[in-house]
Amino acid sequence: MNPASKFLLPLLILLGLFTGCATVSRPRIATVPRVDLPRFMGDWYVIAHIPTFIEKHAHDAVESYALEADGTIATTFTFREDGPNGPAKRYTPRGFVRDRVSHSTWGMQFIWPVKAEFLIASLDADYTQTIIARNARDYVWIMARTPEIPAADYARHVGQLEA
């Protein structure tokens, strides 16, 4: 055993113990019972979010989905960086439907091989407003088919998220 190995194993054990102690058990986020994928496709304006590092300075963000013949979701995420007149940015992650019954649990792949969790936690009957979340509760998106939504709808979505 080399000298570095003597310290690596105890360090890994210690990190594992701290990680286990820091984890708070939370119930999984419920998803909607069923998503009609073709109806969900199209443009969704980001109304509010807890941003990823890519979105920290995003303005006028729009997420567009297109169902591919192989069942994956071609995604285009566009926004203006640092303000409404900032440079246009575009990302093209790929969505993968993980739950083939409800279609409400996806993986979203920005970089290979990582597929981030993407849960459709709320979707109105008209497919005009949705909430996308993750069980880690680190990111969330309130999205709509229009760039703005009524204040009462926004308050209702925030209330759902707080609950």
What's the one-letter identity of residue 19? T
Between CA 163 and CA 159 the distance in angstroms is 6
Between CA 64 and CA 84 the distance in angstroms is 19
C-beta pairs of 73-82 under 8 Å, 24+ apart in sequence: 73/37, 73/41, 73/97, 73/106, 75/108, 79/46, 79/55, 81/57, 82/57
For residue 19, what pLDDT is reported? 42
Between CA 155 and CA 14 the distance in angstroms is 43
Q: Does domain 28-162 have CATH number 2.40.128.20?
A: yes
| Terminal-to-terminal C-alpha distance of the chain | 51
Would you list the DSSP string of 9-70?
HHHHHHHHHHHHHHPPP-PPPP--S---HHHH-EEEEEEEEE--GGGTTEEEEEEEEEE-TT
For residue 1, what pLDDT is reported? 44
What is the chain's pLDDT, residue by residue, as a tens digit (163 residues)?
A: 444 434 333 433 433 444 444 455 778 889 999 999 999 999 999 999 887 777 777 889 999 999 999 999 999 999 998 888 899 999 999 999 999 999 999 999 876 676 788 999 999 999 999 999 999 888 899 999 999 999 999 999 999 988 8
pTM value?
A: 0.80
List the chain domain ranges.
Answer: 28-162
